[in-house]
Chains A and B, each alone.
Chain A
């Protein structure tokens, strides 16, 4: 893209894509922005096109807002911990030569292809169900009282479900990173007298740090908008109401489009703050 000419033609070439993207994103965003300053409750037939920041004030000052931010953060952090911890372990295991490696790898990746709604339903009905769930059988097998995961530990249950879906993604990225580590480095560490745990800590983990930051960045952006899993399992009850879910409730359950839109804009701003913050960290990590 060195010459003036090629730069101009490049711009013309990407213009359609940019245009579609802009329309796709800007129109809904502008409409949300517009509604967020309006008092719009279709069921009560109220529409007041400009009420200033009232929606924002009532959204931000309600108790449910702060608690939903807290829940969102807990959920994202929990899922990240499980997927990265588990992903590193799985990647190291999958890197070992073993029988049927190809099939095992495909099986490990499989959960990623299951739709969120489906996997949440499968977990809810086949694993967590108090009467028929596999865990209940397991508990009874050991003579314990079956545990009602979804009502006793709802947040944890959702974290487990979503972590199960995202584990393959983390594993896949970390596996490629593990495979790119030169075996001579590990052999050198072995000759230098480092036992396996030190080799993991001093050689493998630093090598993986870049891949780990990439996983954190990508997953955080997607995990901030978890919805289906909550909708299917707890419906936002028992302290599992994330910011996304709160917005949904305001718009559809309370039929308050103005308030919901204000919440949506707040969520967009918060997500961007998180994204910029993470980008900074990743950028720093990728530099050296």
Chain B
């Protein structure tokens, strides 16, 4: 079981309020991703849940039991750190065994659990090595192994993949998702990479300056962003946010159109502009289009083989059903 409830949880460092009172419910077995720009308080929130920081106000409950004043070890949570935080002088086996040893578990049960974790994480051949003799991906797996042997109520990950190269990151992303499917344990995952958030999460929590901007499934956030911040943050490339006359035409202060919801037409069209940078990815092409009335270039997704290059004139028409409208406060107009 691992249902975590945050009730008016607040964190101040001195006079600086990093997390204003915040409510959040994380259901048992959910894969929750905290996402937001750098410095928005994701790590702080995770460390509050872990018990590595004391809350300044509010209450944390794990499975209904108050956990606010429990020390980290008593909360039954396991954490995987960004730097892995492996113990450099211990072998991989001893690293993984450490939490079991601290819990005073019998040796044969320890061995059984280590063997199981090592098999699941492909670490069997490396058990007698030191962390310094492993690659980044292997170290990451050891850190995960050390977390899973304890069979915790929930896993906490703080940007675990940010030290890996792009290819390995995609691989580890899959492995962590896979692990979540097999263990069905609650996982809280912090990242500032919205692609990770979209691909892994059951539920995404978008944070800005300690505030929860929106909570929902990846598709909910993608389809119905609650405000312009979420609209701009979720989705890659970013949504085009237009103000001025173009927005007023739809009765809004700001309208948002995703690059994939702009069609290239031969003539006419709502927007006419000049092609700036064209990014050819093979399957898709992204055009940055300079429209005279707009300050920022618009991004457009077109098919893989569109015969337009730098400097060409392009006509664009948004799909009416996919226009997001926001009011002057940046909130979504239903």
Residues of A within 8 A of B (CB): 182, 184-185, 187-195, 198, 202-203, 206-207, 209, 288
Shortest CB–CB separation between residue B141 and chain A, in angstroms?
Answer: 15
State whether the Cβ of B258 lies closer than 8 Å to any Cβ in chain A. Answer: no
* Per-residue contact bits, chain B 62-90, to A (CB 8 Å; 1 contact, 0 not): 00000000011100011101110111111
**A191: which B residues are within 8 A, CB to CB?**
50, 52, 72-73, 77-79, 99
User: Does the CB pair B102–A192 fall under 8 Å?
Assistant: yes
- List of 7 A-B pairs having minimum Cβ-Cβ separation, nearest first: A192-B99, A193-B73, A188-B85, A184-B85, A206-B89, A193-B102, A184-B81
**A188: which B residues are within 8 A, CB to CB?**
79, 81, 85-87, 146
**A185: which B residues are within 8 A, CB to CB?**
85-87
User: Does the CB pair B83–A182 fall under 8 Å?
Assistant: yes
* Per-residue contact bits, chain B 39-79, to A (CB 8 Å; 1 contact, 0 not): 00000000000101000000000000000000111000111
Q: Which of B78, B81, B103 contacts A187 (CB 8 A)?
A: B81
User: Does the CB pair A203–B81 fall under 8 Å?
Assistant: no
Q: Which of A190, A193, A206 contacts B103 (CB 8 A)?
A: A193
Q: Which A residue sits closest to B74, measured CB to CB? A: A193
Q: Which B residue sits closest to A198, measured CB to CB? A: B102
Shortest CB–CB separation between residue A80 and chain B, in angstroms?
Answer: 22
- Give the complex CA separation of A187 and B71 in angstroms: 11
**A195: which B residues are within 8 A, CB to CB?**
73
- Give the complex CA separation of A207 and B85 in angstroms: 13
Identify 20 new A-B residue pairs, CB closer than 8 A, beyond the known A184-B85, A185-B85: A182-B83, A184-B83, A185-B86, A185-B87, A187-B81, A188-B79, A188-B146, A190-B73, A191-B52, A191-B77, A194-B73, A194-B102, A195-B73, A198-B102, A203-B87, A206-B90, A207-B89, A209-B89, A288-B89, A288-B130
- Give the complex CA separation of A184 and B73 in angstroms: 15
Q: Which A residue sits closest to B80, measured CB to CB? A: A188
- Give the complex CA separation of A209 and B52 in angstroms: 27
**B103: which A residues are within 8 A, CB to CB?**
193
Residues of B within 8 A of A (CB): 50, 52, 71-73, 77-79, 81-83, 85-90, 98-99, 102-103, 130, 146, 150
Q: Which A residue sits closest to B75, measured CB to CB? A: A191
Q: Which B residue sits closest to A184, measured CB to CB? A: B85
**A182: which B residues are within 8 A, CB to CB?**
83, 85
Given A194-B73, A288-B130, CB of A187 within 8 Å of CB of B52: yes
Main secondary structure of the interface of B (DSSP, over half): loop
User: Does the CB pair A192–B146 fall under 8 Å?
Assistant: yes
- Give the complex CA separation of A202 and B95 in angstroms: 11
User: Does the CB pair A193–B85 fall under 8 Å?
Assistant: no
- Give the complex CA separation of A99 and B148 in angstroms: 41
- The 26 sampled A-B contact pairs (Cβ below 8 Å) are A182-B83, A184-B81, A184-B83, A184-B85, A185-B85, A185-B86, A185-B87, A187-B52, A187-B81, A188-B86, A190-B71, A190-B72, A191-B77, A191-B99, A192-B73, A192-B98, A192-B150, A193-B73, A193-B99, A194-B98, A194-B102, A202-B87, A203-B87, A206-B87, A206-B89, A207-B88
**B99: which A residues are within 8 A, CB to CB?**
191-193
Shortest CB–CB separation between residue B169 and chain A, in angstroms?
Answer: 20
Q: Which A residue sits closest to B143, measured CB to CB? A: A188
- Give the complex CA separation of A193 and B90 in angstroms: 17
- Give the complex CA separation of A209 and B89 in angstroms: 10
Shortest CB–CB separation between residue B317 and chain A, in angstroms?
Answer: 52
Shortest CB–CB separation between residue B282 and chain A, in angstroms?
Answer: 40
- Give the complex CA separation of A2 and B98 in angstroms: 46
Given A190-B72, A190-B73, A191-B72, CB of A202 within 8 Å of CB of B81: no
Shortest CB–CB separation between residue B92 and chain A, in angstroms?
Answer: 14
Shortest CB–CB separation between residue B47 and chain A, in angstroms?
Answer: 8
Q: Which B residue sits closest to A194, measured CB to CB? A: B102
**B77: which A residues are within 8 A, CB to CB?**
191
- Give the complex CA separation of A190 and B78 in angstroms: 10
**B79: which A residues are within 8 A, CB to CB?**
187-188, 191
- Give the complex CA separation of A205 and B163 in angstroms: 28
Q: Which B residue sits closest to A207, measured CB to CB? A: B89
**B81: which A residues are within 8 A, CB to CB?**
184, 187-188
Q: Which A residue sits closest to B156, measured CB to CB? A: A191
Q: Which A residue sits closest to B78, measured CB to CB? A: A191
Shortest CB–CB separation between residue B13 and chain A, in angstroms?
Answer: 14
- Give the complex CA separation of A288 and B89 in angstroms: 8
**B85: which A residues are within 8 A, CB to CB?**
182, 184-185, 187-188
Shortest CB–CB separation between residue A172 and chain B, in angstroms?
Answer: 23
**A288: which B residues are within 8 A, CB to CB?**
89, 130
Shortest CB–CB separation between residue A202 and chain B, in angstroms?
Answer: 7
Shortest CB–CB separation between residue A204 and chain B, in angstroms?
Answer: 11
**A190: which B residues are within 8 A, CB to CB?**
52, 71-73
- Give the complex CA separation of A188 and B79 in angstroms: 7
